[in-house]
Structure 1
Amino acid sequence: MLIATFRLELDALALAETFEHHPSLEIEAERIAAHDIEWTMPCLWAANADFEALDGTLANDSSVDAIVETATFDGEKYYQIDWSDDVEKRINAYVDHEGSILSAKATSDGWQVRFRFVSRDQFDAFRDVLAEEGHSFRLLELVQPDEPRHSVGSLTPTQREALCAARERGYYSVPRDISTRELAAELDMSHQNLSEVLRRATETLIEATLQPTTAD
């Protein structure tokens, strides 16, 4: 089993037109299904945008068929989306190769999507689909967990390196001794990628600490 994180261009998935009008927008998908196309990524959280303007932009985005429901919270807005047929076909092509979408988020730089593949052949087939469609992509991380069902709390080498560097360089000091961009430059990665690596690492550690224990 392989866990792969890809950076995909916006056209490879959805919302390219929306990001043209809202370059600072941040999107995170919620309630992601592995193989049921109708319920893949229907729920989105949006941040860093004029939400009133964003409503209209999303409604006119060709990758969106309809906005079913919305709700506004402090600094964020929740959308339930019906995707266009083209988006559903793209996702169908991806998961047809047994690729389960574990997480997905987007900025103007593209989609960062985390997939799970049963085998290396299925991973290679997924990359072939992207290449055949002419979509640019970048593999950010590839992990082969020894125990995929029991890997909570297990940091990847990239996550461990980033966390150790962040701690040693005073990233978690108050005030910070180093900015995200400065630390990212030292680690030879983009600041967006570093932010995501640190976020995932923190979530992994929190889940490991707070996971329920089974009584004897």
Structure 2
Amino acid sequence: MSIVAEFSLSTEEFVFGSALSTAEDMQIELEAIIPTGPRLVPYFWATGDGFEGFERNVLSDPSVESITQLDRIDDTALYRTAWGTDVDSLLQGLADTEAVVLEAMTADDGWHFRVRFSDRHLLGQFYDYCTERGIDIDIERVHALSEASRAGRVFDLTPEQREAIVLAVRWGYFAVPRETDLSQIADELGISQQAASKRVRRGADKVLRGALLDPGTWT
């Protein structure tokens, strides 16, 4: 049975995360990890200001070969990076265990991950991998996907994403013409417009993937 593990770790334990932490005012969220030969190609979203300076700072890290902006929506941009052959141990461990990263974002003092594994054996294999390499991860929660989730009915939304996406639907954010905007949703939730945009976007992405795609193609 598929399970979801939530864990956190410091920026120092996550080499790729360290390369992205050069801009303190930029919020980072890992989108996907694609193995390409001996390399891992991470995709991530960056939200904030000063993208050109951010890109220069990331490229200054010797482990980063290139960074490419693929798309940009207001203050949020999607990037693809080329990572050196000496790949990040944490990302390699996730790739080796065929884990699906549901959520990975910068937190106050490090990174927070939500990851789906096919079974507990693979989660244990990933934990052993980290332990053997001295990567200190703090596993906060492990739970099995419900039957509804596996059938694509729950979509594995976080409570915050569900709250935002339900409000957006009820208030007509997706209607044509649009009946509300992100600033109103943000005010109702008591969060910034940037945070509201992120919750609605990520929530909508999970719902669409769960409704339209086979789980094996989510990455």
TM-score, structure 2 length as denominator? 0.62
Shift of 1:60: 0.9
Shift of 1:83: 1.2
Per the alignment, in what secondary structure is the counterpart of residue 87 of structure 2?
Answer: helix
After superposition, what is the alpha-carbon deviation per residue over 1:92-115, rounded to whole angstroms, capped at 9, x for unaligned? 333323423333333563232222
1:115 corresponds in structure 2 to: 115
CA distance, structure 2, for counterparts of residue 54 and residue 91 of structure 1:
22
Going from structure 1 to structure 2, the CA distance change for 1:205 and 1:159 (only over 3 Å counts) comes to: farther
After superposition, what is the alpha-carbon deviation per residue over 1:23-70, rounded to whole angstroms, capped at 9, x for unaligned? 12111233544x667785532221124222112101112331212455
2:58 corresponds in structure 1 to: 58
2:159 corresponds in structure 1 to: 159
Shift of 1:145: 1.4
Greater CA drift, 24-33 or 114-123: 24-33
CA distance, structure 2, for counterparts of residue 138 and residue 120 of structure 1:
17
Shift of 1:13: 4.5
Per the alignment, in what secondary structure is the counterpart of residue 154 of structure 2?
Answer: coil
8 Å contact from structure 1 (residues 7, 110) kept in 2: yes
Give the number of equivalent residue pairs: 187
1:14 corresponds in structure 2 to: 16
Going from structure 1 to structure 2, the CA distance change for 1:49 and 1:205 (only over 3 Å counts) comes to: closer
8 Å contact from structure 1 (residues 25, 108) kept in 2: no
Q: How does 1:1-216 map to 2 (within 5 A)?
A: 1-10=2-11, 11-19=13-21, 21-33=22-34, 42-69=42-69, 72-87=72-87, 89-107=89-107, 109-147=109-147, 148-153=149-154, 159=159, 199=199, 203=203, 207=207, 211=211
8 Å contact from structure 1 (residues 46, 78) kept in 2: yes
CA distance, structure 2, for counterparts of residue 95 and residue 140 of structure 1:
21
Backbone CA RMSD of aligned residues: 4.2
8 Å contact from structure 2 (residues 68, 80) kept in 1: yes
CA distance, structure 1, for counterparts of residue 140 and residue 132 of structure 2:
20
Going from structure 1 to structure 2, the CA distance change for 1:100 and 1:179 (only over 3 Å counts) comes to: closer
Per the alignment, in what secondary structure is the counterpart of residue 86 of structure 2?
Answer: helix
Greater CA drift, 39-48 or 49-58: 39-48
CA distance, structure 2, for counterparts of residue 67 and residue 125 of structure 1:
31
Shift of 1:78: 3.1
Per the alignment, in what secondary structure is the counterpart of residue 42 of structure 1?
Answer: strand
For structure 1, the residue ranges without an aligned partner over 5 or more in a row are 181-194
Task: Name the amino acid aligned to 2:16.
Answer: A
2:180 corresponds in structure 1 to: none
Shift of 1:154: 6.3
For structure 2, the residue ranges without an aligned partner over 5 or more in a row are 168-183, 213-219
8 Å contact from structure 2 (residues 156, 206) kept in 1: no
What is the percent sequence identity of the aligned residues?
22
TM-score, structure 1 length as denominator? 0.63
CA distance, structure 2, for counterparts of residue 142 and residue 14 of structure 1:
24
